[in-house]
Chain A
Amino acid sequence: NAGVTQTPKFQVLKTGQSMTLQCAQDMNHEYMSWYRQDPGMGLRLIHYSVGAGITDQGEVPNGYNVSRSTTEDFPLRLLSAAPSQTSVYFCASSYSMAGGVGQPQHFGDGTRLSIL
């Protein structure tokens, strides 16, 4: 059981390049999300999805696109990388909540992205 798998683990890009960060989960979770982690700022939500075909913006969505064509995969795209997007990116997944009871999210190990 792999859980949440993120690829690549490390990447260096030049300003203006495009890239897709991959995220896959094998737990049949409906809810998936992308966060970025910057020093002293905790994790901030970029985009999330509550099921295949449905996506929505989080706290810091500018410069990022997502799609959810399958339950398992939730790629994050940077169309034109900028130095401000240098960060560590985490993907997470969970079951949808039912009856108001929270379902904890499971995180991948992260993608460390540097934009030169």
Chain B
Amino acid sequence: GQQLNQSPQSMFIQEGEDVSMNCTSSSIFNTWLWYKQDPGEGPVLLIALYKAGELTSNGRLTAQFGITRKDSFLNISASIPSDVGIYFCAGQLSGGNEKLTFGTGTRLTIIP
């Protein structure tokens, strides 16, 4: 099946630093989604991207839908302790096929 390569697998940063992560696919997607998962909970949607080249922000988070439709990027500015968690990208085809393909996740840890 389709696979999404998400990198980096883990990040150790200090509070206040900016964070960047990305997701690449061997296939084209028409929707890119970014989720955050806290321990013991299900993924929560952060940002949804529906158009190639689209740049969308949600507070300190900014995500971009790559022009080729095979990649997406998530940036977090001025990280704070509550940003700790696992971030997942997901690609979704349109045209009546709602199945999501998930990346393997980026685990973000903030060093005191």
* Chain A positions within 8 Å of B88 at CB level: 42-43
Interface of B: prevailing SS? loop
**Shortest Cβ distance from residue A62 to the other chain B in the assembled complex, whole angstroms:** 14
Q: Is A13 an interface residue (CB 8 A)?
A: no
Which A residues touch B41, using CB under 8 A? 109-110
Tell me the nearest residue of chain B to A105, going by C-beta. B100
Decide: A100 and B45 in contact? CB cutoff 8 A.
no
- Determine whether the beta carbon of A42 is less than 8 Å from that of B102: yes
Q: Mark B83-100, 1 if CB is under 8 A from A, else 0.
A: 000001000101110111
Q: For residues 39 through 93 of chain A, which have their beta carbon under 8 Å from a beta carbon of chain B?
A: 40-45, 48, 50, 58-59, 90, 92
Chain A residues near B30 (CB-CB < 8 A): 100, 102
Interface size on B, residues (CB 8 A): 28
Count, A-B residue pairs, CB within 8 A: 71
Compute how far the CA of A31 lies from the CA of B92 in the bound complex, rounded to whole angstroms.
Answer: 13
Q: How far apart are the CA atoms of A105 and B35 in the complex, in Å?
A: 10
Report chain B residues within 8 Å CB of A106. 45
How far, in angstroms, from A106 to B98 measured CA to CA in the complex? 13
Which bracket fits the contact residues of A? 20 to 34
* Cα–Cα distance between A104 and B35 once the two chains are bound (Å): 10
Q: Which residues of A contact B92 (CB under 8 A)?
A: 102
- 23 examples of A-B residue contacts, CB within 8 angstroms: A33-B99, A35-B102, A41-B104, A42-B103, A42-B104, A44-B102, A45-B99, A48-B99, A50-B98, A58-B99, A59-B1, A90-B42, A92-B100, A100-B30, A100-B95, A102-B33, A103-B98, A104-B45, A105-B98, A105-B100, A107-B42, A107-B43, A109-B40
What residues of chain B have their CB less than 8 Å away from a CB belonging to chain A? 1, 4, 6, 9, 30-31, 33, 35, 40-45, 48, 50, 88, 92, 94-96, 98-100, 102-105
**Chain A residues in the interface with B (C-beta under 8 A):** 4, 31, 33, 35, 40-45, 48, 50, 58-59, 90, 92, 94, 96-97, 100-110
